[in-house]
Amino acid sequence: MTNFIKRVNLDFLGIVTSVVCAIHCAILPLVITSLPVFGLNIMNNLPFEWLMIGIAFIVGCFALTHGYQRHHKSMKPLLAFTAGFIFLICKQFFYTYEFLFLAPAVSLVLYAHFINFRYCVRSRARNIPAL
């Protein structure tokens, strides 16, 4: 199990999770308005929203702390991620301003994973021994 965890690129998983969250938040109200006809309701479903936020938080914490501890020691990705999650939590509590908080939240979380990924790649390139 630990070998599998070591092989998974957590930044890529974080980016995918953030993109899925953004798609869920942006497109779901437009595309899936017919779900209540079938007895399904995931729009404005608070447990589902918190589940998505929790998954993104767990993946982000693992990816960013791994990158920080083992590769680059830069606080920039951690600060961007924290700021993004503050906006994401504000989105949940200030529902009337949801769309004002959503864009910066997703942008900052994606940016955090992107720069963490770049810093990790740079760190690995510096540690490759010369042939």
What are 120's two structure tokens?
A: 């990790």
Query: Is there a contact between 113 and 15 (Cβ–Cβ < 8 Å)?
Result: yes
70-96 tens-digit pLDDT:
888 889 999 999 999 999 999 999 988
Query: Is there a contact between 92 and 53 (Cβ–Cβ < 8 Å)?
Result: yes
Q: What is the per-residue pLDDT for 40? A: 61
21-56 tens-digit pLDDT:
777 777 766 656 666 666 666 556 788 888 888 988
According to DSSP, residue 128 is labeled S
According to DSSP, residue 129 is labeled P
Q: Which run of H or E residues covers position 52? A: helix 46-67
Query: Is there a contact between 12 and 61 (Cβ–Cβ < 8 Å)?
Result: no
Query: Is there a contact between 92 and 45 (Cβ–Cβ < 8 Å)?
Result: no
pLDDT for 2 beyond 60: no
